[in-house]
């Protein structure tokens, strides 16, 4: 009887978990994925970047995306039988380094439950398990057309007013804390990125690195707007900067 009750409790727990994730907002998940897209790609033509491509992620054995060089830790998890599902991805994305010690993924984790549900709902539409449609939304061609018509970005002018504006600096600090610190912060996984020396860098140099990336550092021009990247530079060059 106890075993039967335990099994029923487990089934109910899984059902509740799946139901919660089913309520995730795909549109909001796409917005949240903005934080991920510098390292990961998903959708038509997605390729491995700093991180593996995320098509058909649900049901994939950990550490098996084709042509991606995983950490030994992630490969070991896959060999142990870890398969990505709503539950395992939820646990991993809340605290990647705790779930898979020594993973290459530097992101500290999704803090809000709603963000996690939305992100998983968005990613699941690119899996082939039939749970959600993988067809692109009607507005994608329009968006692509607008992007094609966009004019080339002009280099910013880093005036004293911009570099000392407290509002701009605060905006840059927020982005740094949520995105950049995972690799460049003092508590980041060792070897992910060099410690910054702001006094030695000109603003234009920092902006170019943030915009276009360098070696293993991803480009952030498709993730953050020009003003947001300027704000990051202003924060890094300010006295308030703290890795």
Mean pLDDT of 16-26: 59
Q: Considering the domain boundaries, does residue 153 fall inside one?
A: no
Alpha carbon separation from 28 to 119, 123, 184 (Å, rounded)? 8, 11, 27
| Residue 187 pLDDT | 63
Q: Considering the domain boundaries, does residue 142 fall inside one?
A: no
Q: Considering the domain boundaries, does residue 19 fall inside one?
A: yes
Beta-ladder partners of 217: 214
* All residues at 6 or more sequence positions from 124 whose CB lies less than 8 Å from its CB, including other chains: 58, 86, 131, 132
Q: Are residue 14 and residue 125 in the same domain, yes or no?
A: yes
Whole-prediction pTM value?
A: 0.60
Give how many domains the chain has, as a whole number.
2
Q: Are residue 126 and residue 168 in the same domain, yes or no?
A: no
Mean pLDDT of 13-26: 55
Q: Is the pLDDT of residue 124 over 60?
A: yes
Q: Considering the domain boundaries, does residue 147 fall inside one?
A: no
Q: Are residue 126 and residue 176 in the same domain, yes or no?
A: no
Task: Please indicate whether residue 141 or residue 54 has the higher confidence score (pLDDT).
Answer: 54
Q: Are residue 104 and residue 172 in the same domain, yes or no?
A: no
pLDDT tier, 137 (very low <50, low <70, confident <90, very high otherwise): very low
Q: Are residue 111 and residue 164 in the same domain, yes or no?
A: no
Cα–Cα distance for residue pair 23/181, rounded to 1 Å = 31
What are the structure tokens assigned to 210, written together?
């943030």
Q: Are residue 123 and residue 169 in the same domain, yes or no?
A: no
Q: Are residue 95 and residue 8 in the same domain, yes or no?
A: yes
| Residue 147 pLDDT | 44
Q: Are residue 6 and residue 98 in the same domain, yes or no?
A: yes
pLDDT tier, 183 (very low <50, low <70, confident <90, very high otherwise): confident
What are the structure tokens assigned to 224, written together?
């953050």
- CB-based contact 58:129 (threshold 8 Å): yes
Q: Which phi and psi (to 5°) does residue 213 adopt?
A: 75, 180
Cα–Cα distance for residue pair 116/123, rounded to 1 Å = 11
Q: Are residue 10 and residue 123 in the same domain, yes or no?
A: yes
Q: Are residue 9 and residue 108 in the same domain, yes or no?
A: yes
Cα–Cα distance for residue pair 33/86, rounded to 1 Å = 16
Mean pLDDT of 48-68: 91
Q: Are residue 49 and residue 126 in the same domain, yes or no?
A: yes
Q: Considering the domain boundaries, does residue 149 fall inside one?
A: no
| Residue 133 pLDDT | 40
Q: Are residue 53 and residue 128 in the same domain, yes or no?
A: yes
Cα–Cα distance for residue pair 158/170, rounded to 1 Å = 16
Task: Please indicate whether residue 78 or residue 20 has the higher confidence score (pLDDT).
Answer: 78
pLDDT tier, 150 (very low <50, low <70, confident <90, very high otherwise): low
Chain CA centroid to CA 58, Å: 17
Q: Considering the domain boundaries, does residue 45 fall inside one?
A: yes
Q: Considering the domain boundaries, does residue 225 fall inside one?
A: yes
Mean pLDDT of the chain: 79
Q: What is the span of the domain harbouring residue 177?
A: 160-236
For residue range 152-171, list pLDDT tens digits in order: 788 899 999 999 999 999 99
| Residue 103 pLDDT | 85
Q: Considering the domain boundaries, does residue 173 fall inside one?
A: yes
Read off the CATH number of the domain in which 196 is found.
1.10.760.10
Alpha carbon separation from 160 to 137, 149, 183, 229, 234 (Å, rounded)? 44, 32, 28, 16, 10
Mean pLDDT of 159-188: 85
Q: Please work out, in degrees rounded to the nearest 5, the angle formed at the alpha carbon of residue 35 by the alpha carbons of 229 and 21.
A: 155
Tally of CA atoms within 13 A in the half-sphere of 163 that contains its CB: 16
| Lowest pLDDT segment from 74-83, 124-133, 159-168 | 124-133
């Amino acid at each position: 009887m106890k075993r039967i009750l335990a099994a029923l409790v487990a089934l109910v727990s899984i059902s509740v978990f799946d139901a919660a994730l089913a309520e995730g907002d795909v549109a909001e998940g796409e917005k949240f994925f903005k934080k991920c897209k510098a390292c990961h790609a998903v959708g038509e033509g997605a390729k491995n970047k700093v991180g593996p491509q995320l098509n058909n992620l649900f049901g994939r054995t950990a550490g098996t995306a084709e042509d991606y060089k995983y950490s030994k830790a992630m490969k070991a998890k896959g060999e142990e039988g870890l398969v990505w599902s709503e539950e395992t991805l939820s646990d991993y994305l809340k605290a990647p380094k705790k779930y898979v010690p020594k993973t290459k993924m530097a992101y500290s984790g999704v803090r809000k439950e709603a963000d996690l549900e939305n992100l998983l709902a968005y990613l699941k539409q690119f899996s082939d398990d039939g749970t959600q449609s993988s067809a692109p939304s009607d507005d994608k061609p329009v968006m692509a057309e607008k992007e094609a018509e966009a004019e080339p970005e002009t280099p910013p002018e880093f005036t004293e007013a911009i570099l000392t504006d407290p509002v701009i600096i605060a905006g840059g600090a927020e982005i740094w804390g949520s995105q950049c610190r995972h690799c460049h912060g003092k508590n980041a996984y060792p070897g992910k990125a060099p410690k910054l020396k702001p006094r030695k860098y000109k603003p234009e140099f920092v902006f170019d690195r943030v915009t276009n990336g360098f070696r293993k550092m991803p480009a952030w021009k498709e993730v953050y707007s020009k003003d947001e990247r300027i704000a990051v530079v202003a924060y890094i060059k300010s006295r308030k900067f703290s890795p």
